[in-house]
Structure 1
Amino acid sequence: MVPADAVKDLAPAGALRAAINYGNGVLAQRGPTEQEPRGVAADLARALGERLGVPVHFVSFDGAGKVFDALSAIPPDPQAWDIAFLAIEPLRAAEIAFTAPYVLIEGTYLVRKDAPFRSVADLDHPGRRIVVTPKSAYDLYLTRTLQHAELVRREPPGATGLADLFAREKLDAMGGVRQLIGRYLGANPELHVLPDSFMEIRQAMGTKQGRAIGARYLREFVEEMKASGFVADALKRSGQTATVAPPEG
């Protein structure tokens, strides 16, 4: 039995408003309608709604930064979303109470095969330019950690995304999720994904800070979904490859 206070925290308007980020195709894929998304994030939201005994309303976004920005929209929308699926990041944690991660993915670089880069460390030098999606987990991480290279922030322009821009502007690399940037290789054999990674992206569920009872229940829910095999099965159903995170230590 879910505590009534947890239901009130996570679905204060009587429905669970779940933010779905289509910018990360490992976690979410579009379905026939906006209320029929596919992927592990959507499956977790539906399972949580069933536990809480409330309907699920999906709120669509095309980037993680836009999910986060919805919290501070002007005028504010207190019901913009109740739960979200985002990578754990210190900047975000000030506003979002995160669970432990349920999926781990890698952030790495797409480069040209004829470029002299063999490792992610080769990119952090003066004069190197790396394109990233603004406010993505890897943008936030690289902003904190790069010492010399320049980040070029661009919204993905159209279906082919940042790869075309990367080639057109003769940038040195494109940062992103390994599985997603690897999809460009079929149509672009001159490109190469580096074998190592610059970060481990810890994908978690979260709710707004201040909802302590709901946040505690959400953490317990995620641990159960990992342990039961639900997360692994949802990834398999959606045809995605990622690592299920270990139990919270």
Structure 2
Amino acid sequence: MNTTPAIVQAFAPTGTLRASINLGNPILANRDAASGQPFGVSIDLANGLAQALGVPIELVVFDAAGKSVEAVEQGRADIGFFAIDPKRGEHIAFTAPYVLIEGSYMVPQASPLQANDEVDRAGTRVVVGKGSAYDLFLTRELKAADIVRAPTSPAVVDVFVEQKAEVAAGVRQQLESDLARFPGHRLLPGRFMMIQQAMGVGKARGADAAAYLAAYVERQKASGFVADALQRHGIQGASVAPAAGG
């Protein structure tokens, strides 16, 4: 990785690397209850990139994926951490994924639904986090079911219970933690999608910046940095993505 002045300028035109952080995905980022400071694998990766570039870092924190994406698209942040999706890829250059996460469905215990492929039927309301990767995916994939959008991913199960909807969709780990708050529900076996979490930079920053970021992610996967971060933060339900092209 050749950190040239042009690369530094591309990533940090203000002199500071502004990293867009989505707190809506607990696998990637959380907020410390005592200090209020964000922590997680995405923050570790952001700090590592700032160190490689030799610039200070500013965390630009959001409560939903859609807001985090917009910040990078509009140039209010320099990099971000997103699930790879074709729509987002119109303006953002993604690296290969660094983490793989399962997208799952939750249903009431008494629901007749037993499998993921039974969800897409008329009269079924599927609650998703607005602008999330699984919102974008299910908007394309579901043909008969109706989509109900909660304001953020952590609010999905609250809206699902409040509206007595048929299905809640989300990151498996988030849904599993919500089961403790809302007994009388269950997860359908397996997954409806594999969410590929990647780093991203606005395409307007140029091909060299995109290539530099891609190389940075591959180095952090290969060195064990990502695996160590997941272990250090006690993350279950996520795995380090294989090497690009592997």
Question: TM-score with structure 2 length normalisation?
Answer: 0.93
Task: Give distance in 1, aligned partners of 2:148 and 2:58.
Answer: 35
What is the correspondence of 1:228-243 to structure 2 with a 5 Å cutoff? Answer: 228-241=223-236, 242-243=238-239
Out of 152, 157, 161, which is 1:167 matched to? Answer: 161
Give the share of equivalent positions with the same residue, in percent.
Answer: 47
Out of 194, 197, 204, which is 1:210 matched to? Answer: 204
Say how many residue pairs are matched: 241
- The residue matched to 1:2 in structure 2 has which SS? coil
Residue 11 of structure 1 pairs with residue 12 of structure 2? yes
Q: CA deviation at 1:147?
A: 1.2
Amino acid at match of 1:177: V
Q: CA deviation at 1:168?
A: 2.2
Task: Give distance in 2, aligned partners of 1:17 and 1:196.
Answer: 36
What is the correspondence of 1:215-230 to structure 2 with a 5 Å cutoff? Answer: 215-230=210-225
User: Structure 2 stretches of 5 or more lacking a match?
Assistant: none
The answer as to whether partners of 2:128 and 2:148 remain within 8 angstroms in 1 is yes
Q: CA deviation at 1:232?
A: 0.6
Residue 95 of structure 1 pairs with residue 76 of structure 2? no
Match of 2:59 in 1: 58
Task: Give distance in 2, aligned partners of 1:21 and 1:164.
Answer: 19
Specify whether residues 33 and 96 from structure 1 end up closer, same or farther in structure 2 by C-alpha distance, changes over 3 A only: farther
The answer as to whether partners of 2:156 and 2:169 remain within 8 angstroms in 1 is no
Q: CA deviation at 1:156?
A: 4.1
What is the correspondence of 1:143-162 to structure 2 with a 5 Å cutoff? Answer: 143-156=139-152, 161-162=155-156
Residue 191 of structure 1 pairs with residue 192 of structure 2? no
Q: CA deviation at 1:71?
A: 4.6
The answer as to whether partners of 2:72 and 2:78 remain within 8 angstroms in 1 is no
Out of 95, 111, 118, which is 1:122 matched to? Answer: 118
CA RMSD of aligned residues (A): 1.6
Specify whether residues 94 and 33 from structure 1 end up closer, same or farther in structure 2 by C-alpha distance, changes over 3 A only: farther
Q: CA deviation at 1:8?
A: 1.2
Q: Which stretch of the first structure deviates more once superposed, 83-92 or 188-197?
A: 188-197
Q: Which stretch of the first structure deviates more once superposed, 1-10 or 106-115?
A: 1-10
Task: Give distance in 2, aligned partners of 1:177 and 1:21.
Answer: 14
Task: Give distance in 2, aligned partners of 1:126 and 1:89.
Answer: 26
Task: Give distance in 2, aligned partners of 1:162 and 1:216.
Answer: 35
Specify whether residues 107 and 86 from structure 1 end up closer, same or farther in structure 2 by C-alpha distance, changes over 3 A only: same
Task: Give distance in 2, aligned partners of 1:149 and 1:45.
Answer: 38
Q: Which stretches of structure 1, 4 residues or more, deviate above 6 A after TM superposition?
A: none
Q: Deviations over 1:75-97 (max 9, x none)?
A: xxx3x100000000000001101
